[in-house]
Amino acid sequence: MPSFSVKSGNGYCNTVRNSYACNLDRAVEHQKIAGLKGAIQDGLRLTPRVYKAGRYGFGPATADTLEDLGFDVDVSVNPHMNYSSDGGPVFDGLEPTLATFGRRRRLLEVPCTTGFAGVLRRSGETVHRLASTPLGSRIRAVGILARSGLLNKIMLSPEGSTLDEMIALTRALLDDGVRVFSLTFHSPSLKPGCTRYVSTATARDQFLDTIARYCDFFFERLGG
């Protein structure tokens, strides 16, 4: 991934790594989140209590900042995902289950729903990591595992996941005792041409249909 560098007023360079707010100086990240909260309060006359970091850029200082600024819930963590290739956070070993954090008071973490389906899902993270090595990438091991039904890492999102994959993930996690699911997508995907997931009006309609059909499955067939 290419990066660029431009000298900014606070001495920071705009790079791919710094697009993860958790990589900024603690005071700078605090200032950015406080500014975002203030803009929402001024524009919408609402006080935000839930925070989602851009690019899932959540770190230790982020947690302290959310506690300090009066947030109650974070939804930034994306389990089993590793963004270290361009300087981002590592969520290896985390599960898509509710958790709490905070030093002075308890805040709730509602993570993205990302997990594994398939015969090898109990060892999903280890097997997927091996399949993602340079050698595994050359033989397209991740794709082979997914197509064979052995192992598929899936995010509960219509961006990159099919309806069948989202249903398979939900059933697998439900069997594991997960009871809170988080279906997520980028809001610009609702306008054709704004993201790579939705390029045309037809693609947008299919995108929305996938969400609707998943909701039918979740609420009607599972009783969610």
| 37: amino acid identity, one letter | K
5, pLDDT greater than 50: no
The predicted pLDDT at position 9 comes to 41
Q: How far apart are CA 73 and CA 51, in angstroms?
A: 6
Q: Which two tokens stand for residue 202?
A: 């037809």
Confidence grade of residue 14 (pLDDT, cut at 50, 70, 90): confident
Q: Each residue of 131-157: pLDDT tens digit?
A: 999 999 999 999 999 999 999 999 999
Query: Is residue 131 helix, strand or coil?
Result: helix
Give the pLDDT mean for 82-95.
Answer: 96
Among residues of the chain, what percentage have pLDDT more than 90?
Answer: 93
Please state, rounded to an integer, the average pLDDT across all residues of the chain. Answer: 93
Supply the pTM of this predicted model: 0.90
Query: Is residue 27 helix, strand or coil?
Result: helix
